[in-house]
Amino acid sequence: MIQARILAPLASALPPGSTAVDRWLLAVSVVASGLFFVTRGGPSCPLGVVLKGLAVATLAVIAFRLLRGRDRWLLGGALACSTLGDVLLELNGLFVPGLGAFLGAHLCYATLFARDWPGLARLTVRQRVLLGVLFVASATLTAWLWPGLGHLAVPVLLYISALTTMAALAIAADTQYPGIAWGALLFVVSDSLIGVTRFRAPVPPGDYLVWGTYYIAQCSLVLGFLSGRSALCDAPHGRQGGARDSRLS
């Protein structure tokens, strides 16, 4: 009874074919994220690092369990790189390695979403508007941060380019994978807050905003993609078509 009450609300978030193990993993992720969120007001501690890593690492395990083929390695890889980046950013002096880990995550996400690029002619008005907002915001943020970047100008510019590309491809693929556009945009918001805090001035309450937008972004990207793949597998004339097992092609 207790297990049912805990897992039932999470069942609808996961695609058909998921099991109680996947629902428990998602529950662990949500709890770890919540506990990490409430510790944001204090100094970094080993428990906080563990909770932060666990929140996204469990999402990676879900991706590896439910997907197969290239999708498994790209989505799982994006989340694994994100987990590494989460841990590195909590450790003093490892900002650049953390940036590199998240660069790898964005490249994995971008490659995952690029397959579903519909072409400019097929973009909806909503997608065009979101892309316009994204590019203007990215250019504005880069110009504003540039004077304070110093020796990190090149790696930060590369990172912003990868982040913007990932978000643009997610917006374009949103018709196939509902919710990933908003997940990608929240990722941009979260990373922008980190950049402003580090290179301009602290944003109160920055730590809470950064983690809240980031975790919702990751969940939106993961669950949106899994839902979209499930729908494609179920479609009788979809690209995947035919019978499927508990793992998504």
Give residue-wise pLDDT tens across range 184-198.
999 999 999 999 999
Spatial distance between the Cα atoms of 214 and 220, rounded to a whole number of angstroms? 10
Dihedral-angle region of residue 124 (phi above 0 means left; psi in -120 to 50 means alpha; beta otherwise):
beta
C-alpha to C-alpha distance for 219 and 200, rounded to whole angstroms: 29
Span of 8-22, 28-42, 119-133 with lowest mean pLDDT: 8-22
SS3 content of the chain, % helix, strand, coil (to 5): 75, 0, 20
pLDDT score for 18: 85
CA pair distance 152, 99, nearest whole angstrom: 11
Query: How would you class 220 by CB atoms within 10 Å of its CB: exposed for 0-12, middle for 13-18, buried for 19 or more?
Result: buried
- SS3 sequence of 68-127: CHHHHHHHHHHHHHHHHHHHHHHCCCCHHHHHHHHHHHHHHHHHHHHCCCCCHHHCCHHH
CA dihedral sign of residues 47, 64, 67, 11: negative
pTM of this prediction exceeds 0.75: yes
At residue 237, the pLDDT reads 45
Any idea what DSSP says for residue 148? G
CA distances from 14 to 49, 51, 143, 202, 239 (A): 26, 22, 40, 36, 21
Rounded CA-CA distance 89/8 in Å is 34
* Separation CA 127–CA 120 (nearest Å): 10
**Rounded CA gap, 21 and 161, in Å?**
37
pLDDT at 16: 79
**Residue whose structure tokens are 């905003």:** 209
Residue-wise pLDDT for 210-245, tens only, equals: 999 999 999 999 999 998 877 656 555 444 444 444
| Percent of the chain clearing pLDDT 70 (strictly above) | 88
Q: What pLDDT does residue 175 have?
A: 79
